[in-house]
Amino acid sequence: MMYCKYCGKEVESDAMVCVHCGRSLKECEDSIEDSGHFGWGVLGFFVPLAGLILYILWRTEKPKNSTAAGRGALISACFIVGLFILSILVVVIIFASAATSQGVFSKLIYSLPSNFGHLKLA
Interface contacts to Zn ion, rule CB under 5 A: 4, 6-7, 18, 20-21
Among residues 92, 93, 47, which one has the least CA distance to residue 70?
A: 47
Looking at beta carbons only, is 21 or 57 nearer to Zn ion?
21
Cα distances (angstroms) measured from residue 121 to each of 99, 108, 111, 114 = 33, 21, 16, 11
Beta carbon nearer to Zn ion, 20 or 107: 20
- Reference 16, options 8, 6, 28, 7; nearest CA is 28
C-beta of 5 vs 107, nearer to Zn ion: 5
Q: From the CB of 34, what's the least distance to Zn ion, in Å?
A: 22
Q: What are phi and psi of 10, to 5 degrees?
A: -70, 135
- Closest separation between CB of residue 2 and Zn ion, Å? 11
Q: Give the nearest distance from C-beta 22 to Zn ion in angstroms.
A: 7
